[in-house]
């Protein structure tokens, strides 16, 4: 039996470490003590989730409910909890501090194991209907009554979605391998299983039952795959030198959907692997008509302006992602879904097939008005590729995607199987996606908005760190400044993200949650930014400006520090 106190002690230790190897070893020691029935839940806890994203299970507990539960448990008033929270900036730290000097003690307390805490979290998440909020507070209060101060810190952070351990998915996979084999030799097999199921808890559980189970993970409907990612190059010439003859597709500036079908059942998943089915009844109806019993494919959805016969902008297309007014949105912003890959068809895993073969299947299967093959052409010269690129831009699209004709579908990985070439913004070489990790107060003309700019970071897969790359002070409309201020105020923290390497300190730190697309003039060597730093010098974006918020993307998809370094050398 794994006690939650032991889990909390390990979490506390992880918070005080920053090196990926050290964190891997700490987790591996915990995993060695974990049983077959516990490992699934423990992995979810470390990821900061209650279940895989596509199951749509959310704790749904806000700060005010957590404050009430802390007050009820500790004997302090809500106002006293609030005052402590203002000082600490972390409601988990507040729970720990007030429970250490609690004014009242529960009559009956019991030692909690991991499964007990997980089951309580699940009850909180599925509680709905009349009186559900009171029930959620009651469940949390019961947990805190039984919790030690350090347990309370992580329970409160978890229910608020702010666990902040700084442990990424690669570190968890490494630790599972080290716990079983003593080294990372099993990492690749574990990662493949995770990439084709998007459920690390399930992967770990089946691996614990029998390590051979990992080899049995197959692509199957309603288990979304981690999306394949593209590398980037700066010119058509570089692409042809890298790939030779290749398939070139238009790069649509919409949102990515992964569509699953089995019989009449259809589910649609976002690139974050969240279920989006109910938002797109027109797409669901079109998928049902496809002559296949079992099917998984990917497409880029764009809203089409039938009057102007031109695609709406990304921001306008995003109006289709909504919880209310779906029928009107379907009429105002009719979708075209351009199918760019097929992964599974009537029992056959197509991810191991060549891209050229998958493309032939797409052309035969998709011929409707809503579902249609993405525009594609096989090219052998840089000149031809450049013509297609120019045509894409003239049609209001984002650029092109070049694909290796012989490549398999690489779920969850960024490889040169796909290479993107995007349009420039002004003198910009390209655009990059970064995660917001802080923001600044407004001064002068921006004082009234209380917002002056963003600090953003890239991801370094070698050390698992976020690394700052730009302080953005331009590209914001007044409405965007107001929107960003409201969004970021809700996720402010007193401390920087635990896995952030930084030198610049913003006025306010925030949880690394929101992804933004950023344009820039070029990339320079910097003494203040930590992106891909060597010898105390990193890389920075010169004259960065906001293009748009990418709420369709996850932190896993942001630009890597390696890409920034590659782009620096390419521009030279």
Residue 543 token pair: 């004259």
Residue 178 exposed, middle or buried by CB count within 10 Å (0-12, 13-18, 19+)? buried
Distance CA 169, CA 164 (A): 13
Read out DSSP for 254-317? SEEEEEEEETTEEEEEETT--B-GGG-HHHHHHHHTSS-SEEEEEEEEEEEETTTTEEPPHHHH
Residues 6 or more apart in contact with residue 467 via CB below 8 angstroms: 457, 458, 459, 460, 500, 501, 502, 529, 530, 531, 532, 533, 538, 561
CA angle 365, 370, 375 (to 5 degrees): 65
Q: Are 401 and 418 in contact (CB under 8 A)?
A: yes
DSSP 3-state assignment of 472? strand
Q: Mark whether 548 is an active-site residue.
A: no
Tell me the residue ranges of DSSP E strands in 441-512. Answer: 453-460, 465-472, 492-493, 500-501, 508-510
Read out DSSP for 192-258? HHHHTT--HHHHHHHHHH-GGGGGG----TTSPPPPPEEEE-SSHHHHHHHHSSEEEEEE-SSEEEE
Q: Are 270 and 255 in contact (CB under 8 A)?
A: yes
Residue 115 token pair: 């499964």
CA-nearest of 341, 258, 255 to 302 is: 255
CA angle 17, 555, 537 (to 5 degrees): 60
Residue 293 token pair: 């019993």
DSSP 3-state assignment of 131? coil
Q: Are 455 and 439 in contact (CB under 8 A)?
A: yes
Residues 6 or more apart in contact with residue 444 via CB below 8 angstroms: none
Residue 440: what are its φ and ψ, rounded to 5°? -120, 155
Q: Are 443 and 454 in contact (CB under 8 A)?
A: no
Residue 299 token pair: 């497409």
User: CB 13: neighbour CB atoms within 10 A?
Assistant: 15
CA-nearest of 361, 367, 368 to 343 is: 361
Distance CA 351, CA 349 (A): 6
Residue 491: what are its φ and ψ, rounded to 5°? -125, 25
Torsion angle defined by CA atoms of residues 123, 128, 134 and 135, in that order, rounded to the nearest 10 degrees: -30
State how far Cα 439 lies from the chain centre: 20
Residue in 136, 205, 223, 251 annotated catalytic: 251
Torsion angle defined by CA atoms of residues 516, 517, 518 and 524, in that order, rounded to the nearest 10 degrees: 90
Instruction: Return the bridge partners of 199, or none.
Output: none
Active site residues per annotation: 251
């Amino acid at each position: 039996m794994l006690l939650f106190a032991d889990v909390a002690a390990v979490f506390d230790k992880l918070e005080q470490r920053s090196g990926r190897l050290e964190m891997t070893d700490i987790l591996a020691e915990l995993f060695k003590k974990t049983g077959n029935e516990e490992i699934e839940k423990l992995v979810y806890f470390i990821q900061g989730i209650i279940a895989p994203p596509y199951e749509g299970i959310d704790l749904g507990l806000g700060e005010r409910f957590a404050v009430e539960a802390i007050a009820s448990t500790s004997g302090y008033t809500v106002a006293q909890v609030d005052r402590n929270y203002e000082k600490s900036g972390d409601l988990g730290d507040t729970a720990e501090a007030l429970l250490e000097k609690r004014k009242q003690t529960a009559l009956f307390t019991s030692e909690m194991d991991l499964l007990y805490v997980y089951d309580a979290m699940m009850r909180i998440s599925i509680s709905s209907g009349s009186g559900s909020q009171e029930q959620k507070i009651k469940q949390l209060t019961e947990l805190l009554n039984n919790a030690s101060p350090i347990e309370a810190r992580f329970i409160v952070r978890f229910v608020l979605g702010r666990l902040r351990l700084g442990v990424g998915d690669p570190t968890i996979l490494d630790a599972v391998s080290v716990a079983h084999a003593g080294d990372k030799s099993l990492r690749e097999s574990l990662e493949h299983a995770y990439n084709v199921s998007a459920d690390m808890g399930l992967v770990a559980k089946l691996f614990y039952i029998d390590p051979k189970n990992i080899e049995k993970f197959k692509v199957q409907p309603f288990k979304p795959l981690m999306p394949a990612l593209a590398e980037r190059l700066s010119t058509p010439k570089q692409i042809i030198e890298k790939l030779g003859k290749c398939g070139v597709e238009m790069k649509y500036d919409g949102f990515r959907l992964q569509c699953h079908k089995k019989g009449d059942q259809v589910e649609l998943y976002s690139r974050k692997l969240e279920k989006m089915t109910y938002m797109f009844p027109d797409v669901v109806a079109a998928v049902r008509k496809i002559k296949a019993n079992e099917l998984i494919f990917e497409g880029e959805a764009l809203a089409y302006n039938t009057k102007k016969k031109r695609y709406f902008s990304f921001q306008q297309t995003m109006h289709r992602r909504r919880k209310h007014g779906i029928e009107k949105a379907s009429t105002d912003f009719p979708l075209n879904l351009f199918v760019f890959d097929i992964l599974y068809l009537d029992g056959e895993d197509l991810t191991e097939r060549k891209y050229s073969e998958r493309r032939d299947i797409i052309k035969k299967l998709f011929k409707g008005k809503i579902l249609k093959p993405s525009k594609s052409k096989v090219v052998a010269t840089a000149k031809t590729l450049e013509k297609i690129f120019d045509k894409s831009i003239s049609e209001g699209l984002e650029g092109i995607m070049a694909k290796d004709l012989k490549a398999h579908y690489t779920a969850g990985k960024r490889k040169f199987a796909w290479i993107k070439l995007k349009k420039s913004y002004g003198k910009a070489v390209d655009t990059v996606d970064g995660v917001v990790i802080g923001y600044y107060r407004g001064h002068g003309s921006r004082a009234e908005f209380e917002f002056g700019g963003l600090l953003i970071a890239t991801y370094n897969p070698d050390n698992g760190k976020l690394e700052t790359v730009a302080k953005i002070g331009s590209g914001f409309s007044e409405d965007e400044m107001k929107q960003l201020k409201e969004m970021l105020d809700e996720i402010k923290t007193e401390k920087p993200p635990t896995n952030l390497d930084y030198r610049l300190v913003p006025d306010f730190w925030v949880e690394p949650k929101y992804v933004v697309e950023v344009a820039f003039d070029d990339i320079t060597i910097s003494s203040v930014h930590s992106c891909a730093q060597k010898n105390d010098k990193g890389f920075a974006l010169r004259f960065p400006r906001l293009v748009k918020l990418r709420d369709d993307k996850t932190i896993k998809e942001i630009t890597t520090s390696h890409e920034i370094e590659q782009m620096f050398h390419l521009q030279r």
